Amino acid sequence: MDVNVKKITGVWDSGYSLDKHIVSSTYVGDNEWGHAQFDTVRTDVGEAVFRLKYRDDFTKCVDIAQSINDNIVSKLPFISFIVAMPPSKVRPKQPVQEIALELANIAGKLFIDGLLIKSKSTPQMKDIASRQDRIELLMEAFEIDDNVVAETLPESGYNVLIIDDLYDTGTSLEAATQTLRECDKINQIFVATATRKR
């Protein structure tokens, strides 16, 4: 899988994205129901994420996780454990969680499920104009499960890697990072995303 890794900056300690999601998208007309149709060219990773999320091709988790391991994990300091960004949409099987789990297996790291949870639903972020308002709304929705902390983090000074599929404005990752910083057992926070908007 060809990638073009880029550093992504934010309130986290270090972060990277494998590649852009889309190379080009050209309008080709409307379909019989009047819906706009596009000829979309995606990067290798973008196509893998698309097939995973919208075609339920969970075999792509291995490719994406392997690429994150090969191209991003080596750029980061020691990682104690991996978490997935809490999903914004209810699905029988969560793509980001599956990528994070696969990465943990490949990298030989602990995957902690349910440490960071989305405890309440939020409106569509694109409908909220202010970046700060989006972060605050998400921070109200995210929380740390104290039971999971008690069961899985006996010491302190852990470095955590948050996995997400797409980096756009960074507001979700910023809210997740700030929420995780409230846990006194966590030291550094890193982020890795499969794709990015730009």
Q: What is the set of domains in the chain, with CATH numbers?
A: 6-196 (3.40.50.2020)
Q: Answer whether 0.85 is exceeded by the pTM.
A: yes
Quote the pLDDT of residue 125.
66
Task: Tell me the residue type at 60.
Answer: K
Inter-residue contact 193 to 166 (CB < 8 Å): yes
Kindly provide the b/e burial profile for residues 102-124, where b requires at least 16 CB atoms within 10 angstroms of the residue's own CB.
bbbeebebebbbebbbbeeebee
167 vs 135, more confident: 167
Q: What is the mean pLDDT of residues 121-133?
A: 76
User: pLDDT tens, 3-46?
Assistant: 999 999 999 999 999 999 999 999 999 999 999 999 999 999 99
User: pLDDT tens, 55-87?
Assistant: 999 999 999 999 999 999 999 999 999 999 998
Q: What is the rounded distance in angstroms from the CA atom of residue 25 to the CA atom of residue 121? A: 31
